[in-house]
Chains A and B, each alone.
Chain A
Amino acid sequence: MNELYSTRNNNLIDPYVHVWGWEIPVYLFLGGLVAGMMIISGYFIFNGRYKEEKCSCNFLPIISIIALSLGMFALFLDIEYKVHVWRFYTTFQITSPMSWGSWILIIVYPALAAMFLINPNNMLKEKIPYIKKISEFFSKHPYLVKNIGIGNMILGGMLGIYTGILLSSLVARPLWNSSILGMLFLVSGLSSAAAFVHMIAKDRYERELLAKADNSFLVIELFIFLLFFIGLFTATQVHIDAANLMLSGSYAPVFWVFVIGLGIVIPLFIQSLAVNHKIQHTPVAPILVILGGLLLRFVIVEAGQYSKWITTTLAK
């Protein structure tokens, strides 16, 4: 057996890498949630539902802006050289997902704002005539509105995928070396968003629709998980070890119980009953889904940092 003794003892790196704490998972989760909400509200705008007073697409944008800002604040907290944070925006690094991300986030804000201004609530319209003007302008240009809807869906997709690619581009962590991670985070974001909207939607139709949508997202998510692990298991030993960290290793309990069990399977079951009118809609399922989404980010970030290439060069 191999015995490795290292004299290195660098903070955040040894005995195992722990450069990211709670901030990054929270940031990734909120990013994914917002991505989901952008796609959902973008869709409603696209198919014209925004004309309905009660359409969630009229208040989702403002919630998204808040959620996104909270996420970016978490990211800011994690950064070690805070006075240099503006450096993200003095350059664009084409190979760096993080650079992509920071610019996407910059575009996301106006997109959300545009969505919001399409049909802001009356009180605001009364208070600020300027806003009234804009929304009237929009109502005169339905074609433009459609495109804003589409734009938000696309941006949402990019944002959701980015939250996953950010990790999968970090070569050193076998658990993250999977292009599927982007898809996984996107779908997980969608399911969280759907659950969230399902929970707060005023409109009965939307609630039904999103409950159904959420169920399908959850099913897809399960499927993507399957692909994710198959991918790792068909790669090198270090990738297999990484996968086992989550499936049978130290992170397995959280993963199976909270992410899969309480985060996907149980709510899927409850919501299936609900959509088939066997039981009433309750916030239980959506809350579980949302918590599951959050914990997914935690597990992936933690276990990912723990997973490593083995420096063993001696023949076993």
Chain B
Amino acid sequence: MARYAMVIDTKKCVGCMDCVVACKTENNVPESFNRDWINFESIGKFPELHLEIRSERCNHCENPPCVHCCPTGASHFSKLGGIILVHHDLCTGCKACLASCPYDARFINPEGYADKCTFCTHRVEKGMNPACVSVCPTHCMYFGDIEDQQNQVSKLLASRKYITLIPEAGTKPHVYYLI
């Protein structure tokens, strides 16, 4: 069975937010909310600095607390390659999942349900890349099935050094950052 993952090359990413804008228009994410965002993390003292730029979003965790804690089954593993989704009509807006996500990737949609990145399931189903991946002007985002060794993402993870966010939390994220 497929296991979709996103691989983002922090060496090429310039933090331009095109991925955020694209998500906004593609999924018409409500004003003043974002499903993805950029973290600029710098270390050192001027001028000896190192800057890591990360385009972040739901990590579609292998071991997702948001799904475990959901009282209604609204948060669930979709059949499509382990993507984590929310059934709007099952969601009570109890916010347990918001509180349980170590990445604060979720928010409450003004309509009342828990909202977050869907890995653009509606596009992936059609064999397209997620919107953010498809616009990235630096081509630093990759999307695909990590179960498939021939896939670009698998090759990148095999050949490059990478990190995931807060591995200590034990969530087993599926957004990988090449460093």
Residue B39 CB within 8 A of the other chain? yes
CB distance from B52 to the nearest CB of A (A): 6
Q: Mark B55-96, 1 if CB is under 8 A from A, else 0.
A: 010000000010111111110000000000000011111111
Residue B126 CB within 8 A of the other chain? no
Residue A276 CB within 8 A of the other chain? no
Residue A2 CB within 8 A of the other chain? yes
Residue B28 CB within 8 A of the other chain? no
CB distance from A241 to the nearest CB of B (A): 13
- In the complex, A12→B99 CA distance in Å? 10
CB distance from B68 to the nearest CB of A (A): 4
Identify the stretch in B100-108, B127-135, B143-151, B152-160 within 8 Å (CB) of chain A at 4 or more residues: B100-108
Residues of A near B50 (CB, < 8 A) are 314
Residue B2 CB within 8 A of the other chain? no
**Interface size bracket, B side:** 35 or more
B69 near A314: Cβ-Cβ < 8 Å: no
Residues of A near B89 (CB, < 8 A) are 84
Counting residue pairs across A and B whose Cβ atoms lie within 8 Å, the total is 177
Residue A95 CB within 8 A of the other chain? yes
Given known pairs A2-B41, A4-B41, A88-B92, the reply for A170 and B108 (CB within 8 Å) is no
- In the complex, A316→B50 CA distance in Å? 11
Residue A234 CB within 8 A of the other chain? no
A81 near B113: Cβ-Cβ < 8 Å: yes
Residues of A near B69 (CB, < 8 A) are 95-98, 169-170
Residue A7 CB within 8 A of the other chain? yes
Residue A17 CB within 8 A of the other chain? yes
CB distance from A251 to the nearest CB of B (A): 17
- In the complex, A227→B112 CA distance in Å? 38
B residues in contact (CB < 8 Å) with A: 17, 20, 32-34, 37-43, 45, 50, 52, 54, 56, 65, 67-74, 89-96, 98-104, 106-108, 111-113, 163, 165-166, 168-171, 177
- 19 pairs, CB–CB < 8 Å, chain A vs chain B: A1-B43, A1-B45, A2-B43, A5-B39, A5-B40, A7-B20, A7-B38, A8-B37, A80-B92, A80-B95, A81-B113, A88-B71, A90-B72, A171-B102, A171-B171, A172-B101, A172-B102, A310-B166, A313-B52
